[in-house]
Amino acid sequence: MKPVYMISGGITKFAKAHPDKDFRLMVKEAYDYALRDLPRFSKDMISGAVGSYFSDHFTRQLKAASMVQDFLGLCPKPSKRVEGGGATGGLCFQSAWEAVASGRMECCVAFGFETMSRVNTWKGNEFIALASDTNFDFPVGGFYSGYYAMMVQRHMYEFGTTVEQMAMVSVKNHANALYNPYAQKAKRLTVKEVRESPMVATPLTMEDICTMSDGAAVCILASEDLAGKVCDRPVRISGVGSGSDAMRMADRPHGNVILLPHERESDYRNLKYPGVHSFRGGRMAAKLAYEMAHLQNPNDELSFVELHDAYTSSEIQTYEDLGLCKYGQGGRFVESGRPFMPGVDYGLELPEQGGLPVNPSGGLLACGHPVGATGLMQAVFAFWQLQRTMEKHLGNGTLQVKNPKRGLIHSHAGTGTYITVSILEAA
Amino acid sequence: MEETEPLIIHDHYEIDYHHSYAEDSPFFVGLGKEKLLGSRCTACGYTFATPRAYCMQCGAATQWHELPLTGRVHTFTTCHYGGEAFLKETPFTLILVEFDGADTLFLSRLKNLPPDQVRIGLPVRARFAKTPTFKVTDVWFEPLDHPRGQ
């Protein structure tokens, strides 16, 4: 495999609705931003593109990625659409990586978007729930917040995780977003306010759950040769991994933990895994990505993480899948303060604040979750972090992680049915 | 022309599907006979509390396996909102049921119990619709200690 670099990125503001821009124009806005940020690059260096959007129901337009390809002036270059639920953006990013790593393309554009404002919130929830088994799960009351609520109830039962620990994730991500002008829902919250917001599915409240969003994101990936020519600070994609699990979470096994290099079987003697409390696909994705990037202990070797926090609970579950802490310790990991940004006041006691910032951007909870764009948005924020250009792009440097060497992005579909993990490194 | 506001129109969309349950059909017919059919692997014996024609563990064919009509709550939630189709039914309680002799779980609704009394480990019993609709909602659960027929 050839080395692959990210050389530029762009995003639109994520918003409840962009009635003034259709999906083509949203992508073009992000694409033009990425091109402007790379002055020595020209469009004729692009070999092809991969587009991503999750739902044909939201778009009401099949083959919408073809319309974007056309709108960007990239025809007749190679193009395709990638779809994989919530992980659509992460899969798109890895598909572009594959095109360059294989030598098929010198430069591949990954673009993603979603236009969720076309229907009301509850119809939107129904569309999303159609990404669960429509014979067995959807008719029972198909609702993703309900599925995640059941998962975290079991996590709480197995490990003693608390709703206050979950609320701390919400406080963190919404506060981080105060410094991110691209975010949809920045605000200062307290644990009490998170718990007192309307109950959606016990124990998850409105402030434990991400919102629907319209937005687009673009990443430009290139070979080492091209990256060296056109980009002053390219970022190397040093590891990619992905995993999967049974569509129906009822069908998940209760077996042994898939171990990471820094874990031992004796850590998990009595744990039945993954059950419905953990994401086996996320653990597999992390394991493969760490192997490719030669990571031994992610907690020591990563500078920051942008992970798929569609729910506060799934952020806690994902700390564990990624091996940032042992299974069962995700709640205590939040309380330690490690996943918070240093230098930001959250109004909380955080003994180890800023040890390993998770979702410095504000994540899905605060940025919004325009599905096809989300995984690419994470890549753009990670790219800017590793280029140390957060201040330039966000207008302030509060969210810039100091001397970042390596970042992880994590994209997640369904109840954990497709999950991607990619590792990016400052070159 | 540049001053034109975005024009938003309303557009309705509806469709009828001819949907076959295909190889899973016996499960839905079984609900009408007050039976819960899971699947047991003919090679490794792994037992699923859902229909799966082939084993997820080893890939061999499964055979139908009648599940007990009582089990326990493995996990639960009460939904106060939902997808549009289910909004009028809120609040409703979802549970994953664990059964003796099955390695996996079954998603269903729990009825006849106030949400604040649901707990992991609660013994539950299957109830079936008198008139089958041939949907998975032809079965639901209630606490084992709830008087029958109420």
Whether A136 and chain B come into contact, CB under 8 Å, resolves to yes
| Count of all residues that appear for chain A in the document | 427
Q: Which residues in chain B have their CB less than 8 angstroms from residue A141's CB?
A: 79, 82-83, 86, 89, 92, 94, 109
Output Rg (C-alpha) for chain A, integer angstroms.
20
Sign of the alpha-carbon torsion through B137, A131, A409, A182 = negative
How many C-alpha atoms does A96 have within 13 Å on its Cβ side?
Answer: 33
Element (H, E) at A65: helix A64-71
Distance CA A175, CA A183 (A): 11
Q: Within 10 A of A191 (CB to CB), how many other CB atoms are there?
A: 19
Q: Within 10 A of B5 (CB to CB), how many other CB atoms are there?
A: 7
Amino acid making up residue A211: T
The pLDDT > 70 percentage for chain A reads 100
**CB-CB contact of A139 with A157 (8 Å):** no
Contact B79 A145 (CB under 8 A): yes
Contact A154 B82 (CB under 8 A): no
Q: In angstroms, how far is CA A74 from the centroid of its own chain? A: 27
- Give the pLDDT band of residue A98 (cuts 50, 70, 90): very high
**What does pLDDT average to over chain A?**
97
Distance CA A240, CA A227 (A): 19
Could you give phi then psi for residue A65, rounded to 5 degrees? -65, -30
Q: What 3-state DSSP class applies to A220?
A: strand
pTM of the model: 0.97
Q: What are the pLDDT digits (tens) for A350-359?
A: 999 999 999 9
- Of A60, A251, A311, which to mutate for an interface test with B (greatest number of B Cβ within 10 Å)? A251
- Picking from A140, A198, A249, the nearest residue to B109 by CB comes out as A140
Q: Which residues in chain B have their CB less than 8 angstroms from residue A251's CB?
A: 48, 50, 52, 56, 104-105
- Of A202, A205, A209, which to mutate for an interface test with B (greatest number of B Cβ within 10 Å)? A202
- Picking from A128, A129, A202, the nearest residue to B77 by CB comes out as A202
Could you give phi then psi for residue A348, rounded to 5 degrees? -130, 155
Chain B nearest C-alpha distance from A30 (Å): 20
User: ipTM of this complex > 0.90?
Assistant: yes
Whether B106 and chain A come into contact, CB under 8 Å, resolves to yes
Whether A366 and chain B come into contact, CB under 8 Å, resolves to no
Whether B85 and chain A come into contact, CB under 8 Å, resolves to yes
Contact A140 B108 (CB under 8 A): yes
Contact A248 B50 (CB under 8 A): yes
**CB-CB contact of A129 with A121 (8 Å):** no
Q: Which residues in chain A have their CB less than 8 angstroms from residue B71's CB?
A: none
Chain B residue closest in CA terms to A120: B84
Q: Specify the long-range contacts of residues A155-159, CB closer than 8 Å, at least 24 apart.
A: A155/A277, A155/A278, A155/A313, A155/A316, A155/A317, A155/A330, A156/A203, A157/B75, A157/B120, A158/A271, A158/A275, A158/A277, A158/A328, A159/A277, A159/A327, A159/A328, A159/A329, A159/A330, A159/A331
Given the structure tokens 């998990």, which residue do they identify? A268
Per-residue pLDDT of chain B (150 residues; tens, 9 = 90+): 668 999 999 988 889 999 999 999 999 999 999 999 999 999 999 999 999 999 999 999 999 999 999 999 999 999 999 988 899 999 999 999 999 999 999 999 999 999 999 999 999 999 999 999 999 999 999 999 998 755
Whether B48 and chain A come into contact, CB under 8 Å, resolves to yes
- The secondary structure of residue A84, as a DSSP letter, is B
Element (H, E) at A176: helix A163-176
